Amino acid sequence: MVNKFENVEYCVKQAAFYFDEMAKEKEDYDRVSYMFSAFAYGGRCIYFAVKHAGKAIPSFDTWFGALDAKLNSSGLDKFFVDARNTVTHEGHSPVLYGSTAGDIDGFVEHFFQVGHPNLPNPPEDGVLASSKDWLVELLSMVWECYTLAGPEIDPLQYATYADFCKLGYSLDKYCEEAGWPNLCDREAEVSNENRFDCVRDFLRGLDSERMVDAVFQRFLNKPRPYLT
């Protein structure tokens, strides 16, 4: 009962965290620059984690190629990959900043350096807007993975009552491994099928807080897809 996509989910939450931290520090150039480097790293980790997880997914090669090509065709993705490599290999951040003279609110705008040989076509939007757009592209790729291969990667889709019967697992064992053994006891008077549904609904509620549902809802305006 291992979530084959758990490392991807970790990287999704990590990248969202770095983005939020970067947004919090929008008036401080150094902090924004530091967090941009972390965000570029975190976003790239999402891609690598998906590729790594694919080694354990039988259908991966049949559907990931189209998602990969779509992401690679994005000029925004290429910029962020190159920016991440530049930060990693040269220690150079492409983040610059400026402000309007006499701005009583102290507004600071962060933008990307123009003219760096490794980054010939920086986004015209500011650092935060471009970073959010890139994160949305990455999250869209991950969301499609759940749509195309959900029963292979998502416990709430592949851990069905029928699957457990085929494997010879009991629902009590499932509850025990999930960490809520007493949850099954409270539903002892109903059928195993209904007990399983109760457990899965319970875990789904927890999952929306501790996994990727909230991130998808926030940036894509939709939750992680589930089987109906």
Domain ranges of the chain: 1-150, 154-228
Query: What DSSP character marks residue 97?
Result: E
Distance CA 135, CA 129 (A): 10
Q: Name all contacts of 162-171 with Cβ < 8 Å and 24+ positions apart.
A: 164/196, 171/195, 171/196, 171/199
Q: State phi, psi for 81 to the nearest 5 degrees.
A: -65, -45
Provide the b/e sequence for 25-41 (b: ≥16 CB within 10 Å). Answer: bbeebeebbbbbbbbbe
What pLDDT was estimated at residue 138? 97
By the 8 A CB rule, do 36 and 134 touch? no
**pTM value?**
0.77
Run of H or E residues at 106: none
Q: If the chain, 228 residues long, is cut into consecutive pieces of 10 residues, what is the mean pLDDT of each piece?
A: 72 95 81 89 96 89 92 88 86 67 50 65 81 96 90 72 71 65 58 70 58 88 74
What pLDDT was estimated at residue 120? 67
What pLDDT was estimated at residue 219? 96
